[in-house]
A and B are shown apart, each in its own frame.
Chain A
Amino acid sequence: MGRIVIFVFFLLTISGIVSANEVNIFSARHYDTDIQLYEKFTAKTGIKVNVVSGKDKALQKRIIEEGKDCTGDLYITADAGRLGAFQEKGMFQKVNSKVLKNLIPSNFRSPYWFGIAKRARVIYYATDRLSKSDLKGLSYEDLADSKWEGKVLIRKSNNVYNQSLVASLIANNGKKKTTEWAKGLVSNMARKPKGNDRAQILAVAAGEAELAVANTYYIALMLSGKKGPEQQAAAKKVKPFFPNQDNRGTHMNISGGGVLKHAPNKANAIKLLEFLLTKEAQEHIVNNTFEYPIIEGVQPNKLIAQFGLDFKQDLKTKVSKYGKNQAEALKIMTEADWE
């Protein structure tokens, strides 16, 4: 019996090590539709794609500790801050790919990691209670205005999208002003922060508050009917408003990836990244996750495109800076009693 067990262990261990024409991905962006995309890649190139998905930092921890023995080639995650922080730790290697450089706008890449898709963090309002003209000129900064006392919804401070948003505010307005802003926002909250982005949008639809801060793709997810007819109907009651149009533009974030420092299959990893930026792959992404495409010439899904595509994006604040400011952002939010 014992021998059999040892043999089984042995086989399992070996099967994990043997490498072939493949690329190994650690992904904290675990859309099952990404898997379909990888299958397309395999069909095209013959390169097998292996995936471990999980929570962002736990995966990072595993990659760091595995060190030079790490068999991962590519690390993919949502949020530029996470990518930047991981780069700071020296876990990515530089990639010289003309294809990637030409396709991705400079704000959404670094020499180490590359944006795959974009999302905006916007403000939702219920169309039966507020109109676009009521919100004219609204900025993230205005959310701390006493005018919105008891009317704003936003999720908890431990959420990375909030940390990146606040990090961008720190980059633009400095720590002191951002601290005051966070305190003002907390006193404007309609309830203690709870639930995910979608829950904030639904709460506005249900009349619990007037404004909700959430990412763009959630509304499309509901409008698509993937969350059932009730939420589809509820989503029709709200609209996204793109803040800071009069100055730097709406806060943008990315999903992206980079080639890991000890990647055993570097060439394949770059091929995969390049594939993710082809028209075919970008169309697959925008139609399944409802993010914005990162390359020119691809239209977002019409559920998201209907809200306008000509809004001013914040291209001034480097997304690569989010990472540096995230810890500071959490500190500021924590001190402002933002749960």
Chain B
Amino acid sequence: MSLLVMLPIATVFFGFFETTSDYFSLLINTFLLKYISNSILLLVGVLFLSFLFGVGAAYCVSFYEFPGVSFFKWALILSFAVPAYIYAYSLTAFFENYGTAFSILTYLFGPYEYNVFIPKVDGLFGSIISISFSLFGYVYVLSRASFYYQSQNLIDVGKNLGLSSKKTFFKIILPSARPAIVVGLSLVAMETLSDFGTVSFFSISTFTTAIYNAWISFDDLASANQLSFILLLFILFLFFVENFSRKKAKYHSPSKGGFVNRSKIKLIGKKSFYATCFCSILFFCSFLFPVLQMLYWTFKFPKYLQDLNFFSLGINTLLLVFLSCIMMIVFSFVSNYGNRVTKSKFLEILTTISISGYAIPGVILAVAFITLVSYLDSLIFINFKTMFIGSIFGLVIVYFVRFFALSSNGIKSGYVKINQSMDESAYLLGYSKFKTFTKVHIPYLKNSVFLISILIAIEIIKELPITLILRPFNFETFATTAYIYASQDLLEAAAAPSLFLILIASVFILFVSKYILSEN
């Protein structure tokens, strides 16, 4: 299974040794440094903001009581529903010359040349903002969970030692939540590096752009492969850092008995005002702002809403979600169960590597897939190309490669919680391996499966580049429809499909908010 995921990735690797055209040397001489520094700036900016927003919000809602806290607790995860490229559309629409901000000012204060006063949120800054607001949720959810399960004992010890609340935060709370935060940030990092839609919308050239350019403008697949290879190495490095930091640490208090239900500190006066403000602004910026911008357009240009065939778009989107979920969950079970039963180190490493699909830009993955299928097709007589390229089947396979990390890791973390002795007891009771799987593992992992299905669903609803390249004739989703309008410079018309996309994703999120925020 892991091999299947690895094939396209391997295609990228093997290209490394091909000869290149002069694009590579031109690139090195001119823009490569610029691209790399853009990528690094983007990464650092996004990681910083995600950390600030994610950990900050998680800290507020986990430890303190202030007006609106129970609302913000789940409202902040709605940011997952807004893909970074739609956030980018909203930013541009609002801040551009004669954009929404201009309209609002004109409406409020009468006609005037306001453009000079409106800050232009675009380019690298715009990309950082868009990606941060749509991804900080990872850090928020994970660090919140970690904060919640943090032992009250530790904090009490700190208090007894006379630490201020600031010191408690930096000396105790933050370090013990470190693994969760690192996992969150590494997810954000991978998604940032694989982003193409947002940066290309703002026409910022990153490392991913260099890959795309090498391949597109210079038809230089070899250079593209070499660059992808470097990106992949970097991502694998990140991934191992993440894995490493998780393995070394056993931070969680092991037994349920030790867990003392912590009472939240009630904030009063200024502090409670600040906390409410921080969370309100975060909620506004991450969710309300793009939604309102899209709503404003949908109402301002109602014709586009009438033209939208949202029934068929919805069916298509959900069909992809349904098929992908089944495929990913089934295979995650197979690979995780395999790991558990055989305890093979090799399998484990293979699984780890196969997960790196998550970090490869969708555009590149889709093309690697096309190249691979064509190559395999040329080897044998049976013609299966049309079965994979331009078919829903092919789409689902590439989604699988891209998002397998999500489902595999999810099932894995569920499995970790089932003590190995449980399996042994089952064997002692005479259960076969298969029976142990169906009677013991599955009931235990029911919630994980539900949660993961929804997470996959949200990712697939938002997915754009793979769908765009590989979809069959006359097959549109909300994401592709929004893109098509946006690319003919009619963001106004992209508003309605974007809005539906956000709406559906939000409904899915609300389904699982109970689990994500579970306090038991």
Contact = CB atoms under 8 A, between A and B. Distances in A.
Interface of A: 1, 5, 8-9, 12-13, 16-17, 24, 30-32, 50-55, 57-59, 61-62, 65-67, 69, 71, 155-156, 158, 163, 192-199, 202-203, 205-208, 218, 221, 226-228, 230-231, 233-234, 326-327, 330-331, 334-335, 337, 339
Given A13-B387, A32-B484, A327-B217, A205 B122 contact: no
Contacts of B300: 228
Interface string B489-506: 110110000000000000
Interface residues of B, number: 65
B508 interface: no
B368 to A, nearest CB: 11
A65 B26 CA distance: 27
B390 interface: yes
Nearest to B212: A57
Given A66-B389, A198-B489, A334-B26, A234 B98 contact: yes
A75 B506 CA distance: 37
A196 B492 contact: no
A69 B383 contact: yes
27 contacts: A5-B323, A5-B326, A9-B323, A16-B392, A30-B484, A32-B307, A32-B488, A50-B473, A57-B215, A57-B216, A58-B469, A62-B370, A65-B373, A65-B374, A66-B386, A66-B389, A69-B383, A71-B390, A156-B203, A158-B209, A158-B217, A194-B123, A195-B203, A206-B98, A228-B492, A230-B106, A334-B30
A16 B386 contact: yes
Contact of B487 (A30, A163, A208): A30
Which 6 pairs between the two chains have the least Cβ-Cβ distance? Answer: A50-B473, A206-B115, A57-B216, A202-B97, A206-B97, A65-B374
B96 A199 contact: yes
Interface string B458-475: 000000010011111111
Contacts of B102: 230
A106 to B, nearest CB: 28
Given A66-B389, A227-B492, 5 more contacts: A1-B326, A54-B468, A57-B216, A194-B123, A230-B99
A17 B26 contact: no
A219 to B, nearest CB: 12
Contacts of A202: 96-98
A66 B26 CA distance: 31
A158 B205 contact: yes
Nearest to A56: B216
Contacts of A57: 215-217
B511 interface: no
Nearest to A4: B326
A55 B474 contact: no
Contacts of A5: 323, 326-327
Given A228-B492, A331-B26, A55 B468 contact: yes
A227 B209 CA distance: 29
Interface in B58-109: 96-99, 102-103, 106
A45 B94 CA distance: 44
B30 A335 contact: yes
A231 B26 contact: no
B116 interface: yes
B380 to A, nearest CB: 14
Contacts of A221: 489
B169 interface: no
A32 B485 contact: yes
Contacts of B202: 194
A339 to B, nearest CB: 7
A195 B31 CA distance: 19
B393 interface: yes
B363 interface: yes
Contacts of A339: 205
Interface in B203-240: 203, 205, 209, 213, 215-218
A52 B390 contact: yes
Contact of B98 (A8, A53, A230): A230
Contacts of B106: 230
B347 interface: no
Most buried by B among A31, A58, A208, A334: A58
Interface in B361-407: 363, 366-367, 370-371, 373-374, 377, 383, 385-387, 389-393
Contacts of B122: 194-195
Nearest to A54: B468
Given A13-B387, A30-B488, A230-B103, A194 B393 contact: no
B156 interface: no
Most buried by A among B202, B215, B393: B393
Interface string B99-131: 100110010000001011000001100000000
Contacts of A193: 203
A67 to B, nearest CB: 7
Given A5-B323, A13-B387, A205-B97, A158 B371 contact: no
